[in-house]
Amino acid sequence: MTATADDKTTDSISTDTAPGSTDTAPGSTDTAPGSTDTGVPTRLMVLGLAHRDGTVVAAELYPVAAACGISDETVRSCMRRLINDGLFVRDGEGRDAVFRATVAGRSALDVTQQRHLNAYAQDAAGRGWDRRWRLVAFAIPESRRAARDAFRDHLRSLGGAAIQPGLYVSPHRWEHDVVDEATRLGISDHVSSFSTDDLSVGGITNPRDVVARLWPLDEVARRYERFIESYRGVPDVLEEMRRRHERISEHEFLPGALRIAIRFNECFEMDPLLPPELLPRPWPGREARNVLARCRRIGVLAREDKAGPALFRVFDDAIAHLP
């Protein structure tokens, strides 16, 4: 489960095509000038260390980064960006600092957690659609471009797809989330929403055909399949370690946890988490989440320092709701 130097991953949570994209241009990194750290998504690690109250503690952050091969300067650069983006504020200095999520930061963290909870809930239920489409239309002035971009990214993070510019659709019950975000951004007067059970997109009315047209499910499926191929055997290896009473040291556990999160996020951030009724069968997302759940459950049990920092607590919170 150890991260390798050959893995080249851009240092951003997602790209413009992925649900929840709030980053700068695809391929941008949080690596400081002159730093040798490349290909490690520092921002993903930082957000993965957030406590349930939205705080990131520097005394946990820097040791975890070091164990994952990320330099202090790269971490500082990442935190400056998160603060400049309005997602966190800092209390204190250096390793005594505590970074507290702002309203915008908590919103981003909450969306991520809810996505994981919803994904496993849909897997368990095997269904989740009431056969209604939810649509949101917006015409936000150019003078409010930043708010417009943030609102559009939020719709994507909720699994929405563009039918045409300024018109997004989703099968999810997203009404409250949409209203809350529009209110937070101060653009409610420019947003309209409605629902229908009779949607036609370019003359297409069959729900599965609409989904195939609007969402890149083939690419999402390929990413999940690559994840499954890479990690399908890991739970058995971890279980065998437990039987031999072996333990995973922090220098193995933390990079391994980061690496599997990187690979899973490459799938999950692009996944609109459509209800099972609208997905191709079989859908590899469910198997990928099962593999992740088994890796996390057994890996945490085999971890040497069980009181260590909870890297990617969001996975464990979602898994805890499983039967």
- Give tens-digit pLDDT for 199-232: 999 999 999 999 999 999 999 999 999 999 999 9
The answer, yes or no, to whether residue 305 has pLDDT greater than 70, is yes
Per the prediction, the chain carries an average pLDDT of 85
pLDDT band at 2 (very low <50, low <70, confident <90, very high): very low
The answer to whether 97 and 83 are in contact (CB under 8 A) is no
Task: Output phi, psi for 196, to 5 deg.
Answer: -155, 155
DSSP lists the bridge partners of residue 167 as: 137, 164
pLDDT score of 129: 92
* Spatial CB neighbours of 86, under 8 Å, sequence gap ≥ 6: 102, 104, 105
pLDDT score of 323: 63
Q: What's the average model confidence in pLDDT over 102-119?
A: 89
The answer, yes or no, to whether residue 32 has pLDDT greater than 50, is no
The answer, yes or no, to whether residue 11 has pLDDT greater than 90, is no
Q: What's the average model confidence in pLDDT over 187-202?
A: 96
- Give the residue among 180, 207, 186 at the shortest CA–CA distance from 140: 186
Of the chain, the percentage scoring pLDDT greater than 90 comes to 59
Give the CA dihedral 143, 165, 87, 36, nearest 10 degrees.
Answer: -110
The answer, yes or no, to whether residue 194 has pLDDT greater than 50, is yes
Residue 307 DSSP class: T
pLDDT band at 251 (very low <50, low <70, confident <90, very high): confident
Residue 70 DSSP class: -
- pTM score: 0.79
Q: How far apart are CA 187 and CA 151, in angstroms?
A: 9
The answer, yes or no, to whether residue 133 has pLDDT greater than 90, is yes
The reply to whether omega before 275 is within 30° of 0 (cis) is no
pLDDT band at 189 (very low <50, low <70, confident <90, very high): very high
Q: What's the average model confidence in pLDDT over 150-164?
A: 94
The answer, yes or no, to whether residue 30 has pLDDT greater than 90, is no
The answer to whether 43 and 87 are in contact (CB under 8 A) is no
Q: How far apart are CA 107 and CA 116, in angstroms?
A: 14
Helices 284-302 and 103-125 cross at an angle (nearest 10°) of: 110
The answer, yes or no, to whether residue 123 has pLDDT greater than 50, is yes
pLDDT score of 9: 30
pLDDT score of 41: 82
Stronger pLDDT, 111 or 131, i.e. the higher one = 131
On the 0-12 / 13-18 / 19+ scale of CB atoms within 10 A, 76 is middle
pLDDT score of 286: 94
pLDDT score of 320: 75
Q: What's the average model confidence in pLDDT over 156-170?
A: 95
- Give the residue among 72, 103, 176 at the shortest CA–CA distance from 134: 176
Stronger pLDDT, 312 or 243, i.e. the higher one = 243
Q: What's the average model confidence in pLDDT over 21-36?
A: 35
pLDDT score of 37: 38
The answer, yes or no, to whether residue 301 has pLDDT greater than 90, is no
Q: How far apart are CA 137 and CA 167, in angstroms?
A: 4
The answer, yes or no, to whether residue 8 has pLDDT greater than 60, is no
Distances (CA, A) of 14 to 22, 49, 90: 7, 18, 24
Residue 57 DSSP class: E
pLDDT band at 264 (very low <50, low <70, confident <90, very high): very high
The answer to whether 89 and 105 are in contact (CB under 8 A) is no
